[in-house]
């Protein structure tokens, strides 16, 4: 088996393990906060928001730092650093006695996290250019699969073993991911040349990338993709309860709808990645954005959860062609010596979208109704497609590399 294919198989299972572990605790985290002594509903809501968002805040700050370090030390080192660090922090969460301690550990989790971006960077830099889209699309399915299964497993474990045991179980999963990566992942990493090592500081790095006109625009693309999706996704269970107010199994229906979106993502992400390898990542990204915008529209007018499920499946098909294509764009056009850094900035852009989306969605949904969010998401996706069309230039990798080399000289 070729090295890149073996790495893809191993990292798929590692991504699945990590994301399943990270999503295990999500269903009961507010309940865990309540067990720590926060009983007032307003305080519970406030602390739940802080605990959930804390990881995103620190991750957005530190992702570029770890990305830059991976360009100097290799991506496998960053995978191991992240997995070991997260396993320690996750285990400590099972011992906390106050919500302040839990919040501090969630901040620490964001600081030392970065497994998925490092896996993307390693796969992107160790895969032949003609297979990057397929590889990154397939890699995403591992993370999505873990996100789908994690909450279900977490709920079962919390019911039978208690909240604290789930944190320790998750730490064990992260250790398993560490072992998998250590033993089976092989990285072909070439240390930066002396000329590249002299480039220090954020300002000089961006000066070097000045001719890569796709860099800053594509970060905005990533932000708007995450913003659009996260503006709607947290409201899904509430929307389902409005569509079926007499249903007794709202949580189950909402879970099935969410899983339906993820399953469509898993099915179509590798196929769209392979299509991007053939016709171009930007073209597939444009098609996927327009498709997502179209599938958001009927969600504002559905009258039953099953109609919503059908629309969400169609949306999941298109989501499979969004972020993997963005990562492929970066891989194909950014010089190798700064790819880790740029994947880090891309991660920051996505996390900022994850932070802003729920807050904006909660405010607008409270004023105008949840159905209005789907129409706003449509407009955001279409605007993002226009931005991608005209702001992200059609430059190829060889041109980008030569321009960056001339810039350094």
For the chain, domain boundaries: 1-191, 198-409
> What does the DSSP assignment read for 93-136?
HTT--SHHHHHHHHHHHHHH--HHHHHHHHHHHTS-GGGHHHHH
Residue with tokens 């056009």: 333
The CA R_g of the chain, rounded to the nearest whole Å, is 21
Residue with tokens 């891989």: 331
Which tens digits make up the pLDDT trace of 335-366?
777 788 888 888 889 989 988 988 888 888 88
Which tokens in the block code for residue 263?
């399953």
Residue with tokens 């810039």: 407
Which tens digits make up the pLDDT trace of 55-78?
888 988 998 889 888 888 889 999
Exposed/middle/buried for residue 72 (C-beta within 10 Å: 0-12, 13-18, 19+): middle
pLDDT given for residue 331 in this prediction: 85
Asked if the domains at 1-191 and 198-409 fall in one CATH topology, the answer is: yes
Which tens digits make up the pLDDT trace of 108-144?
999 998 898 899 989 988 999 889 999 999 998 999 8
Q: Quick one: 198-409 is in which CATH superfamily?
A: MFS general substrate transporter like domains (1.20.1250.20)
Average pLDDT of 264-274? 94
Which tens digits make up the pLDDT trace of 3-21?
999 999 999 999 999 988 8
Torsions phi, psi for 190 (to 5 deg): -110, 120
Average pLDDT of 391-403? 55
pLDDT given for residue 214 in this prediction: 60
What is the spatial distance between Cα 150 and Cα 262, in angstroms, rounded to a whole number?
Answer: 12
Residue with tokens 């230039």: 393
What is the spatial distance between Cα 334 and Cα 336, in angstroms, rounded to a whole number?
Answer: 6
Cα maximum dimension of the chain: 69
On whether the CB atoms of residues 54 and 110 are closer than 8 A, the answer is: yes
Q: Give 392's contacts (C-beta < 8 A, 6+ positions apart).
A: 213, 214, 217, 218, 221, 282, 329
Torsions phi, psi for 322 (to 5 deg): -95, -85
Which tokens in the block code for residue 279?
């016709």
What is the spatial distance between Cα 319 and Cα 232, in angstroms, rounded to a whole number?
Answer: 14
With CA atoms as reference, report the closest residue to 261 among 232, 285, 238.
232
Which tokens in the block code for residue 177?
């991911």
pLDDT given for residue 72 in this prediction: 85
Sign of CA dihedral 116, 122, 125, 128: negative
Torsions phi, psi for 192 (to 5 deg): -60, 145
State the angle between helix axes of 281-299 and 215-232 in degrees (0 to 180), rounded to the nearest 10. Answer: 20
- How sure is the predictor about 203, in pLDDT bands with cuts at 50, 70 and 90? low
- Choice between 281 and 151, residue whose per-residue pLDDT is larger: 281
pLDDT given for residue 399 in this prediction: 41
Torsions phi, psi for 126 (to 5 deg): -120, 20
Q: How many residues belong to the chain?
A: 409
Q: Give 249's contacts (C-beta < 8 A, 6+ positions apart).
A: none
- Per-residue pLDDT for 405 more than 60? no
What is the spatial distance between Cα 106 and Cα 219, in angstroms, rounded to a whole number?
Answer: 25
On whether the CB atoms of residues 384 and 86 are closer than 8 A, the answer is: no
pLDDT given for residue 291 in this prediction: 97
Q: What burial letters (b/e) apply to 30-62, b meaning 16+ CB within 10 Å?
A: bebbbebebeeeeebeebbebbbbbbbbbbbeb
1-191 topology per CATH: Growth Hormone; Chain: A; (1.20.1250)
Which tens digits make up the pLDDT trace of 296-308?
999 999 999 999 9
Percent of the chain past pLDDT 70, that is, above it, reads: 90
């Amino acid at each position: 088996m070729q090295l890149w294919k073996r790495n893809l198989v191993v990292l798929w299972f590692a991504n699945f393990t990590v994301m399943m572990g990270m999503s295990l605790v999500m269903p009961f985290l507010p309940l865990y906060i309540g067990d720590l002594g926060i009983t007032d509903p307003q305080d519970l809501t406030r602390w739940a928001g802080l605990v959930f968002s804390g990881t995103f805040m620190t991750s957005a700050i530190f992702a570029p730092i770890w990305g830059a370090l991976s360009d100097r030390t290799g991506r496998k080192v960053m995978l191991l650093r992240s997995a070991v660090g997260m396993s320690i922090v996750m285990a400590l969460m099972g011992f906390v006695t106050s919500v302040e301690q839990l919040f501090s550990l969630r901040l620490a989790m964001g600081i030392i996290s970065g497994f998925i971006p490092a896996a993307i960077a390693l796969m992107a830099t160790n895969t032949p250019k003609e297979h990057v889209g397929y590889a990154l699309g397939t890699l995403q399915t591992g993370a999505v699969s873990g996100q789908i299964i994690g909450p279900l497993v977490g709920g079962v474990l919390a019911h039978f073993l208690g909240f604290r045991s789930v944190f320790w179980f998750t730490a064990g999963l992260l250790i398993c991911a560490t072992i998998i990566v250590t033993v089976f992942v092989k990285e072909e990493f070439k240390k930066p040349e002396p000329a590249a090592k002299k480039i220090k500081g954020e300002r000089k790095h961006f000066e070097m990338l000045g001719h890569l006109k796709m860099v800053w625009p594509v970060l905005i693309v990533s932000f708007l993709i995450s913003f659009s999706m996260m503006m709607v996704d947290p409201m899904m269970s509430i929307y389902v309860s409005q569509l079926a107010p007499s249903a007794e199994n709202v949580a189950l229906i909402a879970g099935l709808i969410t899983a339906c979106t993820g399953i469509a993502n898993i099915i179509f992400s590798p196929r769209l990645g392979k299509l991007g390898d053939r016709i171009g990542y930007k073209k597939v990204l444009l098609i996927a954005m327009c498709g997502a915008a179209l599938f958001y529209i009927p969600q504002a007018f559905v009258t039953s959860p099953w109609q919503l499920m059908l629309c969400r499946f169609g949306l999941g098909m298109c989501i499979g062609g969004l972020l993997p294509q963005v990562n492929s764009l970066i891989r194909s056009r950014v010089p190798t010596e700064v790819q880790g850094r740029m994947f880090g900035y891309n991660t920051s852009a996505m996390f900022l979208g994850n932070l802003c989306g729920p807050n904006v969605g909660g405010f607008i949904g409270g004023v105008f109704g949840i159905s209005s969010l789907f129409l706003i998401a449509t407009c955001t996706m279409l605007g993002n497609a226009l931005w991608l069309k005209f702001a992200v230039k059609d430059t190829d990798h060889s041109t980008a590399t030569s321009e960056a080399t001339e810039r350094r000289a």
